[in-house]
Structure formats: structure tokens, C-alpha cells
Amino acid sequence: MAPVKDPGSSTSVAEVAPDDRPGPMPLRRLGADELNNTLRDLLGDSSKPASVLPGQGRGLHGFPEAGVVSVVDVEHILELVESVAAAAAPRLPSLLACGPMPATQVVEDACIRSFVVRFGRRAFRRPLGADEIARYVQRYRAARANLGYGFLDGARVLLQVLLFSPNFLYHWELGPQAAAAQGTVVRLTPHELAARLSYFLWASMPDEALFAAVDAGRLKTQADIEYQARRMLADGKARPTIARFHSEWLMLDRLVDARKDKALYPMWNDRLADAMAAETAEFVTRTIIDGDGRLETLLTSSTSYINPTLARLYGVDAPAAPVPVAVARPRDGAQLGPRPAHQSVAPVSDLMVTHLDPTERAGLFTQASFLAAHATATSSHPVKRGHEIFLNVLCGEVRPPKFSIPPVGAQPANVSTRELFAQHAKNECTGGCHDLMDPLGFAFEHYDAVGRFRTVDGGKPVDASGTLSPPSGGPDVPFDNAIGLARALVGSEDVQRCMVKQWFRFAFGRREVSADEPSLMKVNVAFRRSGLNVRELLVSLSTSLAFRYRASGAGEVLR
């Protein structure tokens, strides 16, 4: 088989064997955050109108996704589109670019056609075909003739029709013309690639610079894509995406609905939970965008961003940095999900940079957001924390238990959490996976259900020692506590490969398949060569074969 040539590159893509072509392209609806961002960039609507849509479930790839559209969903989306179009009505004359009322029918027809071409290209993230343009112009004429609407009301209906199109509402990488096959793969068009890149890094539509690059033929080579990826990562719109990935990856959305026993944790409230989420959002964005970008820093740094509320929980003086940091707020950056309408969202605008005790805090997994999200109302719960590390940080596989596992009983006053769970693990039906997860969870026994550091539990000194058993095999790595575990995770090839997989799943909206292995290998090599720099991981993923090509769909007609 001849190598697949990248027509815009001076080098050829490695030979693609039948089983090593890019993986499938799932048809995905824009999520609420993607819709909000797109409507902001398309219409200047910053009201986050899509936040009223029903919540998103987690897909098989482990990240939230918009599910199958039900009749109720269609009604919600239609109501959303109508409200957005109504809110945009005052701006229609400027969007149409021909005044509030054209002087003649010829001018009116030309104005509407021009609007469909210009606005449709931005809304659909690609040029419209001639048949599509004619169809949308006809919808405007029908609104004028059949409904008796005037010029602006007809234009408003046309705007609704465009926003209700699957071409706007979905990651639609199938243009009006049949795709061109290159051997066993389909190369994304520059417009499709621009949309995939912008929604990966910005969770929004391409900006004018990216559209201009497409028009000028400067989004064809790997060097072109790399240039745009680096430009986009340096833009402020990348910051919420970095925060959202980490929130969704570590399931920090659980903080929104977390409930803690007020008798045990009287300090727990929504403001504290928001401060926890904001700390993590600011930490990851500052590390990856502004800092060295290294995985080691993410997992071991004691630098953080806290406010007086969180400082009290951490048992430190309120930070006194001279200037507050710019906060990626939980509802924007970390995307923690909707809070019930009766609850207010306390703004977190008073975060300050500080350095925590490195013997107590080191990186993401000793931050209160992770610890409180993976605990119960009364207990630290090692299994929850160990399960998160094993499943989502090491990418270990957990088989469903053959038998029903009995719940953990109440904790007696003179028994530590570790002793309680060690006894629970002796049940015949809890073996196997608990032998892998529980030791990881015990590493966090220095932290209670809200993430406070402790040295005593159940009247006894905390024992946070354990071993990391690599899912891929190899010798166990002993550790004394969560700080030691963090260092062991940095050096784990399982963690390094898992980080690549998790970003892949986040970008593509699906789990990896065998066909993706060449691309994953390329990104892994680039990640290691960069000193485990996450920025370089993202750039390498953006230029990978899996990102630039796709497999043809079943029954798809190709040119």
C-alpha cells in the first residue's frame, strides 16, 4: 500500500495499514458550554443561554456529552433558539449589513442572500453550498409571504432556522459535498480541521484569524496546524478549556452537589466549595498556560491560589500577595454544572497566590477539591479516592464485581478509617480490584472528608503508607503518604500514557480504538521528549494523524 500523502506537507504520513487507519468519527451535539461560547462569539450573546438545557451525562469515554436527542430535548433547543434570536433582534440591522429596510426588492434579496452566505459560513463553520443558500433564502421568503412578516421579522425567523440546523448544533464534519478519500482514510477539509481545532482548544467556533488562515491556504501542513494550536493556547479562550478538562477528568463536578455532615464539618458551605474549585481551575491554567506546563508540577507543586475561606481550611494565614489572581470561576472555567435555582453562586474574586506546606500539600490530588469531591458526608472514604486514581489517572481497568459488595459499616470511635476499610476488604467479594484501589486510597488518609490535614484518625496516628501497583505490570512502588504517591505517579509510564489517553478522549468525544495506536504513540513520544509538558502534548495531539484524518463512515459515498 502506498503511503498516504499529506498534500500540504513536504513529508508523507507514515504508511497506514488497514487496521491502523484513524478511528471513527462520532456525531456529537454541542454541549452547553460549547453552545454558550459559540453564541457568544457568533452573536455577542454572553448571557449563557444554553445553561438552561438539561444536564449532560457521562459518555463511555468518561467525559460529559450531550446525549441522544429526545422530544423534550428538541423542545428545549427550539425554545433556546427562539429566545436567542429574539435577544439578537436589536442587532439584526448590523448583522444584515443593509439597514433596517432595503429600498427595493432587488436590494432586499441581495441582502438576505449575502447574510446567508456570511453568517451561515460562521455558524456552520464552513461555506454553504449553492443549494443550501437557495433553500435558506426561500425560508426567508416563505416567512415574508406566508406569515405576513416584515423584513426584520423575516430575518429573525431565518436566524432561528440557521441556529436550529444540525449544521450549527452538531460537530458536523460532513460538508454538503462528498468527502474525498485518500486510500483508506478521509482527510478533513481545512474548514473541518479549523472547527475541530477550535472546539478542542476553545470549546467554541473558529475566530477570524483561523478562518483567514483557511482562506489563505495556511491550514494544510502540520506546521500550519502547529502554529495555530500554539496561537490558540496563548489566547485567553484556552484557559476555561484547560480548567474544564481537569474538572471533568477528576469529576470535580461532584462538588456542586456534595453534602457534608454539618455537625462534623460546620465550615462546609457553597462558598467554600466554590473556592476549592476555583483553586484547582487557577492552578491548572497557570501551570499549563503560564508556567512550565509539566506533569510533575501539576502533581507535586505546593504553589496554590486560595482565598481567606480556603486558607482557614488549610490552616494557614490568609495569603497576602499584592495583587489578586485572575480567576477562572467554577461556573465558567471548571464547568461544575448547574446549581439549583434557589442557590446563589458566590463569586470567587479574592484568590491570592501562596505556597503551602510541601509536607502536607503537593499538587492536584492534595487539593481540597479532589479530596472533598471523592469522600462521603462523614468520611474520607479511601475506596472513592483510590478508585479515581486507579481508573482515571493510571487508566486501570476495573471489572464489575461478581457478587454484591456489602456496604462499609459505621466507624466506631476507636477505629481508624484505614482499619475499617481494611476489615471491609477482607470480604470474599471485595478482593481483586480493591487490592489495587484501596492502597492508593490509603495514601490520602491524612485528609478528612473536606480535605483538612490531620495526623490522628480514630484516636490513632494516621497510617498513609502503601504501594503503587502499575496496571501494566512491573514492580510495586512503595510510598509513605500522598506526597510520596504523587512523586511515584509522576514517574509512572502508566500515568504518562493515561494522560495522553484522557486528553485524546476529551478531544474526540470517544475512547481510543486500535486504529488510533499510531497517533497515540506519536503523541506519547512527543510528550516524553518535551519533559512531560502538557502544552506539547496538546500541540502534538492537534497535529496527529487521528486529528487530521478520519475513517469513512459505514455506507458513506466518497469521491
Q: Which amino acid is at 197?
A: L
Tens of pLDDT along 421-449?
A: 565 455 544 455 556 788 899 999 999 99
Q: Rounded to an integer, what distance in angstroms lies between the CA atom of residue 213 and that of residue 207? A: 10
pTM: 0.88
Top-confidence range, 3-12, 38-47, 173-182? 38-47
- Between 303 and 344, where is the model more confident? 303
Task: Give the per-residue pLDDT at 283.
Answer: 96
Tens of pLDDT along 325-360?
A: 544 433 333 333 333 333 334 456 678 889 999 999
Task: Give the per-residue pLDDT at 323.
Answer: 52
Tens of pLDDT along 149-171?
A: 999 999 999 999 999 999 999 99
Q: Rounded to an integer, what distance in angstroms lies between the CA atom of residue 151 and that of residue 406? A: 67
pLDDT at 365 exceeding the cut of 90:
yes
Task: Give the per-residue pLDDT at 338.
Answer: 36
Write down the mean pLDDT value for the chain. 85
pLDDT at 500 exceeding the cut of 70:
yes
- Burial of 385 from C-beta contacts in 10 A (0-12 / 13-18 / 19+): buried
Task: Give the per-residue pLDDT at 2.
Answer: 33
What percent of the chain clears pLDDT 70, i.e. is strictly above it? Answer: 81
Task: Give the per-residue pLDDT at 261.
Answer: 94
Cα distances (angstroms) measured from residue 353 to each of 9, 350, 533, 538, 547: 44, 10, 22, 26, 36
Task: Give the per-residue pLDDT at 555.
Answer: 54
pLDDT at 6 exceeding the cut of 50:
no
468: three-class secondary structure by DSSP: strand
Task: Give the per-residue pLDDT at 417.
Answer: 72
pLDDT at 140 exceeding the cut of 90:
yes
pLDDT at 1 exceeding the cut of 80:
no
Tens of pLDDT along 525-547?
A: 999 999 999 999 999 999 999 99
Task: Give the per-residue pLDDT at 327.
Answer: 47
Backbone angles phi, psi at 240, to 5 degrees: -60, -30
Using left for φ > 0, alpha for ψ between -120 and 50, and beta otherwise, residue 392 falls in alpha
What percent of the chain clears pLDDT 90, i.e. is strictly above it? Answer: 67
Q: For 14-18, 72-76, 512-516, which range has the lowest pLDDT when averaged over its residues?
A: 14-18
394: three-class secondary structure by DSSP: coil
